Structure 1
């Protein structure tokens, strides 16, 4: 019996070691796994609960409730097309995002301050991969989608946070209009 318990303990130790291999990035409170990938999955919910700007910009959209589809291209000229968009509060938008460039680009929705703060973090962790619902990262020639519901009126931003891209001007603006009650 002792031998069997020892065998079980030794076979499960690697699993516990793997599970504990991530650490918390104290700057953002987000987990970073052993490969250096930044796991935003839980931080998104934490930010929304704390009332951050991301919550102001909206929330993950329900694919069944998409009211509009917008195609966005990302270019090596460090530009998005379109670079400015306007929606109504409450709209759920499917962004079909395509990287037409030869290098990796991403689209991240948030406030200017959040985007700059996150871009600073990206410079210290350049291999970080995003998994949060307000962002998509695409390799050259790839396409993906981001579904987002704009909850309230305001002006929000989007940017590519690959190191150097935000600084090169790879940003855009989103205006969310109040829906009239008429």
Structure 2
């Protein structure tokens, strides 16, 4: 009978550990409302989105590009695997810039809030968007597609 009791104790200990682990994992989930991040990505993982090209959006304004001035300097940027290349861009204050964004895997965009700059490119596409940075400083550019910035998809624009 003591073997049965020992088995019951081990079962109870295992059940307690599994319950605690379940609570811990549930606590690691996100409380963020996905609607303020541009949409709900459903149950797809980042890898599934990259494979299918589905970003979880219904083109929620990502395709609108900012205007490009005539004679803008073109700067080529590649968006791939939640990173920009180059991760740093240097321009002169007052210079008209055209970002030529190429996405190799899924929909990505490049946004600079302070400069009202935005350009988006879907998988395998290239798109252009422009801006003029009149004030010297450092500006962050990032991808607004849900989860991409959180995955580290940012870069720095340095205006000299």
User: CA RMSD, aligned part only?
Assistant: 2.8
- Note closer, same or farther for the CA distance 1:137–1:61 as it changes in structure 2 (3 Å cut): closer
Quote the Cα distance in structure 1 between the aligned partners of 2:59 and 2:109. 18
Whichever of the two has the greater Rg, that structure is 2
Question: TM-score with structure 2 length normalisation?
Answer: 0.56
* 5+ residue gaps, structure 1: 1-26, 28-34, 42-58, 112-132, 178-182
Residue by residue over 1:99-134, the C-alpha shift from the partner in whole angstroms, topping out at 9 and shown as x without a partner, is: 011x211111125xxxxxxxxxxxxxxxxxxxxx61
Aligned to 1:65: 71
Structure 2 unmatched ranges of 5 or more: 1-35, 37-57
Match status 1:74 vs 2:74: no
Distance 1:139 1:162 in 2: 11
- TM-score, normalization by structure 1: 0.50
Question: Displacement of 1:60 after TM fit?
Answer: 4.8
> What is the aligned partner in structure 1 of residue 52 from structure 2?
none
| Contact in 2 for aligned 1:60/1:149 (Cα 8 Å) | no
Q: Residue 110 of structure 1 is aligned with which of 110, 113, 116? A: 113
**Partner deviation per Cα, 1:110-162 (whole Å, 9 max, x = no partner):** 25xxxxxxxxxxxxxxxxxxxxx611222111110011111111111110111
Which structure has the higher relative contact order (CA within 8 Å, separation 6+)? Answer: 1
The alignment of Structure 1 onto Structure 2 pairs a total of residues equal to: 103
Give 1:85's aligned residue.
Answer: 89
Equivalent-residue separation in structure 2 for 1:97 and 1:154 (angstroms)? 22
Gap change, CA 1:105 and 1:37, over 3 Å in 2: closer
Q: Is the 8 A contact 2:99 2:119 kept in 1?
A: no
Is the contact made by 1:100 and 1:140 (CA closer than 8 Å) also made in structure 2?
yes
